[in-house]
A = this chain, B = another copy of it.
Amino acid sequence: MRYEKGHKDETRRRILAAASKRFRKEGIAAVGLAGLMADAGLTHGGFYSHFAAKEDLVREALAFTLDISRAALAREAAERGGLPAIVRAYLAPRHRDRPEHGCAIAALAAEVARHPAPTRAALAQHIEALIDLIAAHLAEVDPPARRRTATAVFCAMMGALQLARVTLDPTSADEILESGVAAGLALARVRGTLGQPSD
């Protein structure tokens, strides 16, 4: 069954999309290749026509996830109200409750930290992209200070999302998200001193 031009690329894209979702939802270690290929409408043996090993899929799926999520966040910021819109969208209950459609960093950072360097580098690119996106919406003019502030804002956002996902009580989980929003916006307001080696 020889296939039309572009068919293989399209199949590969389907595998990456399935992997991207399931890794974020279940964690990388918990996802088996057989089930993943079934998600993509294929049998498990065909996997190795596309990737040399699971670790290669992990790395490429992280890059794939970045491609689709960077665009979504930038759109959010442009169409709505700048940084507050980004922070509120990131810390919305909807994002907390649907990790499979959400931030790969919040879902996978701790696990990816234990993976080989190229895989870590793929997730580190997400971090860079998100910090750059936040930095672009800060009023601070000094670039290093802007970057430090943006890093701080993202730390608070990511931390809040993860804590909210562990918390069982819905009210507590909501409160953590709200604290995260307040923290992100408060940090974005601080000028100058934040990034300095403080007292």
Cβ-defined contact, A186 with B194, below 8 A: yes
Contact call A175/B148, Cβ cutoff below 8 A = yes
CA distance A163 to B169 in the complex (A): 26
Q: Does A27 contact B (CB under 8 A)?
A: yes
**A:131-169 near B, CB below 8 Å:** 148-149, 151-160, 162-163, 165-169
Integer count of this chain's copies in the complex: 2
Closest to A111 in B: B27
- Of B114, B175, B193, the residue contacting A30 (CB under 8 A) is B114
Mask for A23-40, Cβ within 8 A of B = 1, else 0?
000110110000000000
26 of the cross-chain contacts (CB-CB < 8 Å) are: A27-B110, A29-B29, A107-B110, A109-B162, A111-B111, A113-B165, A123-B166, A124-B167, A148-B175, A148-B178, A151-B163, A151-B179, A151-B180, A152-B183, A155-B160, A156-B156, A156-B159, A158-B159, A178-B195, A179-B194, A179-B195, A182-B193, A182-B194, A182-B195, A185-B199, A186-B198
